[in-house]
Structure 1
């Protein structure tokens, strides 16, 4: 199937109503399945592999003992969600239910490293070379094997004294509890740009952003 089946945000959200165990974030459908045992996780992983081969469309699956982290996106569509991703998500969910796996989308976290700089072009090649990452049109760097966090350069004429911060993307449905937990352990929260992101600052001035898919463009 040609990459003409890209879904817009409205279409994605409509499909997610029928896929309550899945979440959308950073251009992909994502979920987590906790299985009854490590062997159960391997069996489900094998089933997902068979489904992927049959459909000719392959997800990224991270196996951690009895837990599988699953990400669906279409590389031939510019790493965007397509109808093929939705179809495969439905099939995976059915098989996960049959296997007795428990969906735990609250465990979803995607981490990116942001570097404040007034000249991204002066430093980005150092980071790309050291990490053997891939450069994208917007200047961001990603691990071609999906193992390490992405790096992006936040261009500013007055970079923050602490030039590094983490962007932690969580499903919007889980963001309130995450922010409450951060406040309870002493973080100062700036919600000026909520719900897209909330800046959390620790007691020593180190920052991170809790980001969500809500309020963003397609």
Structure 2
């Protein structure tokens, strides 16, 4: 079953995550990080994930950093949403990680987006798309076709903020507490009006960023706060 037919509802996604403790939901995908005992063991894990991907014809975004492997599964043919194929792949990856002696560190997986305040997204989107070599994604976002750079999304508003660009840093809700505490300790202004979905952080010079979680973020949504 492929395409949109096997997209998971939020209820089914939550049930799947309950038996996938290594994984977190993040902006239309399942993400985790595995720390292997050695770089060689990390490569063994990558090879195992690759073999399963070829067998199932369902491939993850994967990044190798010495003895850590960053993995993200999403179903591009379903519009960048989580499907049963993603949960099956995540299950197989967890089993391969256990065989390789790797431990899950999902809190290390951060996702960064750049938000731009604008009254007219269509007027400026093409400039950003061409300059970055990006493609249009779900909901009008601009995304790196190779999954390397941060996505760009346009926050349509009749009253753009004086600081029009801001960074959204997505953490899993389970790991977000210490990040919020450490950020507040820097002296930044913390606006919790939309917590736990996101917290707006403003530095001493008026620059903004948002610390975001998956709370309240439905699987079919794609835009940031």
TM-score above 0.5? yes
Partner of 2:222: none
Determine the structure 2 residue equivalent to 1:99: 100
Task: Indicate conservation of the 8 Å contact 2:30/2:72, yes or no.
Answer: yes
Per the alignment, residue 164 of structure 1 pairs with 165
Q: What residue number does 1:8 align with?
A: 9
Other structure's SS at 2:210 match: strand
Partner residue of 1:44?
45
TM-score, scaled to structure 2: 0.93
- Shift in alpha-carbon separation, 1:194–1:163, aligned structure 2, 3 A: same
**1:166-185 correspondence to structure 2 within 5 Å:** 166-185=167-186
1:194-205 to 2 correspondence within 5 Å? 194-205=195-206
3-state SS in 1 of match to 2:19: coil
Unmatched 5+ stretches in structure 2: 220-225
2:111 aligned with 1:115? no
What's the offset of the Cα at 1:196?
1.0
In structure 2, the residue matched to 1:34 is 35
Shift of 1:112: 0.3
SS in 2 for 1:181: helix
TM-score of the superposed pair, with normalisation by structure 1: 0.96
Q: Residues 42 and 100 of structure 2 are in contact (CA less than 8 Å); yes or no, is this contact kept in structure 1?
A: no
Separation in structure 2 between the aligned mates of residue 132 and residue 197 of structure 1, nearest angstrom:
29
Q: Which moved more, 1:113-122 or 1:131-140?
A: 131-140
Q: CA deviation at 1:49?
A: 0.2
RMSD of aligned residue pairs (Cα, Å): 1.1
Deviation >6 Å, runs of 4+: none
Q: Distance in 2 between matches of 1:112 and 1:33?
A: 23
